[in-house]
Amino acid sequence: MKIHEYQAKEMLASYGAPVPRGIPAKTVDQAYEAASKFGSCVVKAQVHSGGRGKAGGVKFAETPEKARSVAEAMLGMKLITKQTGPEGKIVRQLLISEAVDVEREFYLSITGDSERAGLVIVASAAGGTEIEETAKEHPEAIVQIPVSVIEGFKSYQGIRAAEVLGLEGDLQKQLISLLGKLVKLYLEKDCSLVEINPLVQTTDGKLLCLDAKVNFDDNALFRHPELAPMRDINEEDPKEYSASLSDLNYVSLDGDIGCLVNGAGLAMATMDIIKNFGGSPANFLDVGGSATTERVKSAFEIILSDGNVKAIFVNIFGGIMKCDIIAEGLVQATRDMGLSIPVVVRLEGTNVDLGRKIIEDSGLAIIAASDMADGARKAIAAAKGVKA
Amino acid sequence: MSIYVNKDTRVIVQGITGKQGAFHTEKMLEYGTAVVGGVTPGKGGQKLLDVPVFNTVYDAVKNTGANASVIYVPPKFAADSIIEAIDAGIQIIVCITEGIPVLDMARVKHYLDGSSSRLIGPNCPGIITPGQCKIGIMPGYIHIPGHVGVISRSGTLTYEAVKQLSDRGIGQSTVVGIGGDPIRGTGFLDCLKAFEADPETCAVVLNGEIGGSGEEEAASFIRTMTKPVAAFIGGQSAPAGKRMGHAGAIISGGKGTASGKIAALREAGAEVAMTPDQIGASLVRALEKRGIRPSEL
């Protein structure tokens, strides 16, 4: 789960990490009022995406009046960043942040390290830019410091980071203290990323988290009910959001062949084979191991809500999932929703004969496929409007 | 022969009275697996399908002599179940549960490292030595006993690969689903080493996917192996930065791409299938390159 910058900063502040004063605003008036408290300020678009500055989503305002006009232009605008893709994201909220005098910028983050089954602190003296770019162009400028999930943060790890960032004396102490707080936050709230980019040194010698990104492990949300209100569904793909409500794993893509598959590995492989044979998958969709008729139906609804879909490929290898259950779900969904586009079905595994018979007996115009390759070819042909 | 499990493996089911646990206990018994006990706290003394239920893994081991366990408990309790099995001295722990918090698995992994237990999974279909022992949720009937080892991060894609082998009359020594999570007990490398050492395994099929670096590590070992390896990597068409169902299946910071893994495996001498329908055919090619006819396996 992702949260907004203003929420991340509130969370950092609650752990005692230094953040600039800031006030979230949903209207122009709120923005003006907030700016009046600071004099000069920075108006920041609150969308779940990096690269906001370059896209025009972060602007300096010398006066509250200027902040008002910046907010007017920014609220409701479609922000197109490198990460949002061409469809962009609508700006619904702003963070009015006190302006600070910056001397130096750094990059600092904590993330999981699955190889060591631990955490890793990533620090670089090249702040403000994306870490991926620094990693590509100046890998030597980045240091990765492992942290144990059992032992937690140790001050020597902070000293190492400070050396890389060129921080000495009191600034080194500030960094060690900050890192301790960030690791504590990461471990206590089951984060998957805590990123401060940039971390700045102000002209009066203070470290400050000028921007903040905090992501959480979805699997651990059950033990953090306090985080639930922070979810902003406006920031999620509407199809992916409704899929998540039905416990379906769905990822929206830009092709024209809808895919309904059981199992994540097979779902990925199904996209691959479509692409390899010259077609284009519209989505990744894993209905899971214990799909019911209702889930199959919601899967169909979500696939069909994508206007680009011209054909659907159902690829099922029944293990726990019996083919007759899938077939019944399919037939029912097709009857209830009156499918207007071709559906190609490949069934294999437990109760496959029963499943095939149900589809045959239904009299519905479902195209049967003998195996995965046959199904992929038929779906590609159907999407093009030709017979395979 | 086989790796990790065989006809002498004695299995207990953690979470045996749950819906999943009960269903798959029945399927495992049908397959002929020696399911000797089950564990559900508070239900000790009951029986399910004639299998005795105990309150703790410790009790189950003491009374049945079990040396393996399979875990079907919900994600919030799964880490504790693994730790309980480690403490009871279980040798092979298979965790089917999907959705365990990453930090829980990180802590479990450290505990595991200091023990003599082997964990398979989590978020996996389990492990099967065809004709001898099935621990997990895979459909037993698609497997036939034989001499090809299979390792996979996926469930249904594993079934796909196994079926392609069985359809060609190629049997399997052991099929291991290592799971789709970023932190797992047993990796590709562990299984490859075990298969290389297993006299009954003649070749290996490896099903990888995007994310992590397990396939790259596997490639550096494949280079030194005497047995042929065929491979498939799922997620060639997956966009970067998006998690594809499995928690571990994500390309981040330009790392974990399918093309990188395919190149590493090819360079190590593995026969890589470009589409999932070619997994069986790739293994046949890998064998033929060594002058082995599949029918001679």
- In A324-343, the residues whose Cβ lies within 8 Å of chain B are none
Pair A145, A181 in one domain: yes
Average pLDDT over residues B78-89: 98
How far apart CA A202 and CA A171 sit, in angstroms, is: 11
Check whether residue A242 and residue A357 sit in a common domain: yes
- For residue A26, give the CATH number of its domain: 3.30.1490.20
Check which CATH number belongs to the domain holding A354 and give it.
3.40.50.261
Same domain, A117 and A204: yes
B62: distance to nearest CA of chain A, Å? 31
Considering CB atoms only, which of A112, A150, A264 is closest to B246? Answer: A264
ipTM reported for the complex surpasses 0.85: yes
Residue of A nearest to B235 (CA): A268
| Confidence at residue A387, expressed as pLDDT on a 0 to 100 scale | 62
CATH of the domain at A142: 3.30.470.20
Which of B199, B172, B171, B204 lies closest to B189, judged by CA? B204
Instruction: Tell me which chain B residues have a C-beta less than 8 angstroms from the C-beta of A148.
Output: 110
Shared-domain flag, residues A15 and A150:
yes
- Going residue by residue through chain A (388 aa), what tens digit of pLDDT does each one get? 999 999 999 999 999 999 999 999 999 999 999 999 998 999 999 999 988 988 999 999 999 999 999 999 999 999 998 888 788 899 999 999 999 999 999 999 999 999 899 999 999 998 776 777 777 787 778 899 999 999 999 999 999 999 999 999 999 999 999 999 999 999 999 999 999 999 999 999 999 999 999 999 999 999 999 999 999 999 998 888 988 888 899 999 999 999 999 999 999 999 999 999 999 999 999 988 666 778 888 898 899 889 999 999 999 998 777 888 888 888 888 888 877 899 999 999 888 899 999 998 988 888 999 999 999 999 999 999 876 5
Residue A13, exposed/middle/buried by CB under 10 A (0-12, 13-18, 19+)? middle
Q: Which two tokens stand for residue A359?
A: 């589809």
Cβ <8 Å between B106 and A118: yes
Q: Is A115 a catalytic site residue? A: no
CB within 8 Å: A371 and B104: no
Q: Are residues A91 and A187 in the same domain?
A: no
Say whether B238 and A271 touch across the interface (CB within 8 A). Answer: yes
Residue-level length of chain B: 297
Catalytic residue among A6, A107, A186, A250: A107
Q: Residue B245 and residue A271: Cβ atoms within 8 Å? A: no
Instruction: Sheet with A22-25: list strands edge to edge.
Output: A22-25, A94-98, A41-45, A58-61
| Mean pLDDT of the B157-176 span | 96
Pair A14, A142 in one domain: yes
The answer to whether the beta carbons of residues A294 and A332 sit under 8 Å apart is no
Closest residue, chain A, to B110 (C-alpha): A117
d(CA A119, CA A192) in angstroms, rounded, equals 9
Give the pLDDT of residue A339: 76
Cβ of A349 within 8 Å of Cβ of B139? The answer is: yes
Best probe of the B interface among A317, A324, A348, by most B CBs < 10 A, is A317
* Domain interval for residue A203: 1-20+101-235
CB contact under 8 A, B277 and A371: yes
The total domain count for chain A is 3
CA A275 to chain centroid, in Å, comes to 24
φ, ψ at B38 (rounded to 5°): -145, 165
Which residues of chain A does B157 touch, with a Cβ-Cβ cutoff of 8 Å?
263, 265-266, 268-269
Query: Which amino acid is present at B160?
Result: E
A226 touches chain B (CB under 8 A): no
Q: B96 to chain A, minimum CA–CA distance in Å?
A: 12
* Interface test mutation site (partner B, options A320, A348, A371, A374, max chain B beta carbons within 10 A): A320
Looking at the structure, tell me whether residues A45 and A119 fall in a common domain: no
Last residue of a domain, one of A204, A235, A266: A235
Burial class (CB within 10 angstroms; exposed 0-12, middle 13-18, buried 19+) of A15? middle
Based on the fold, state whether residues A265 and A224 are members of the same structural domain.
no
- Nearest to A99, CA basis, from A139, A132, A54, A66: A66
**Residues A97, A20 contacting (CB under 8 angstroms):** yes
**Residue that terminates a domain, selected from A39, A73, A99:** A99
Distance from CA of A19 to the nearest CA of B (A): 27
Q: Say whether both A230 and A337 belong to one domain.
A: no
Given an 8 Å threshold on Cβ–Cβ distance, is A219 in contact with B102? yes
| Same-domain check for residues A271 and A341 | yes
Do A84 and A214 lie in one domain? The reply is no
Is position A32 annotated as part of the catalytic site? no
What's the pLDDT at A334?
83
Q: Do residue A90 and residue A222 come from a single domain? A: no
Interface test with B, best of A272, A273, A274 (most B CBs within 10 A): A272
Query: Which of A201, A220, A235 is the last residue in one of the domains?
Result: A235
